[in-house]
A = this chain, B = another copy of it.
Amino acid sequence: MPRVSQDHLEARRHQILDGARVCFARYGYEGATVRRLEEATGLSRGAIFHHFRDKESLFLALAEDDAHRMADVVAREGLVQVMRDLLSTDGADWLGSRLELSRRLRTDPEFRARWAERSEQLTIATRQRLERQREAGNLRDDIDVAVLTSYLELVLEGLVSHLAMGLPADDLEPVLDLVESSVRRAGPKP
């Protein structure tokens, strides 16, 4: 067997995650059988489960990967930008896996416990971003940063749900403008 480099392992891992994302979005968690995961990733079950212990671990890694990418955008541009990105791109795969996540959290308490340890990073990134904005004087100062964080997360969750249901999104830009303005300091724009 050839010696497998770290880069190769990482590339393989991403290949699996990308295929699995499409597969979970299309068939749902239960419907994403091992055979379908093989088809979607172009890899054998042996290769897939060499990288991920089981289907649930693969699904968790996927959700964690999504959360990590969102946290990166939040740190640079804020959570409203994550929402704008969702509007401007065809985020169907990501949305599908996100809705499957919602559903499993609701129906499976054990899964919920496993996910709870990993779901904090988006909240932390959002709160830190808001704290920096407050220090810079851009944020309204009559409402706690924790409340503003929960507010933005709630709107994001609503947007995900809205898009995932295939509801029309062409009227949502001004809605996100309203969301953004309701966390900012009132007064004339710079």
Contacts and interface: CB of A to CB of B under 8 A. Distances in A.
A155 interface: yes
Contact of A99 (B95, B106, B179): B106
Contacts of A178: 143, 147-148, 151, 182
A112 interface: yes
A68 B175 CA distance: 25
A155 B160 CA distance: 11
Q: How many monomers of this protein are in the complex?
A: 2
Contacts of A143: 174, 178
Question: Majority SS of interface residues in chain A?
Answer: helix
Interface in A142-163: 143-144, 146-148, 150-151, 153-162
A171 interface: yes
Interface residues of A, number: 40
27 contacts: A96-B106, A99-B103, A102-B161, A102-B165, A103-B103, A105-B167, A106-B164, A106-B165, A106-B166, A112-B166, A143-B178, A146-B171, A147-B171, A147-B175, A148-B178, A150-B175, A153-B162, A154-B155, A155-B155, A155-B158, A156-B158, A157-B157, A157-B161, A158-B158, A158-B159, A160-B161, A182-B182
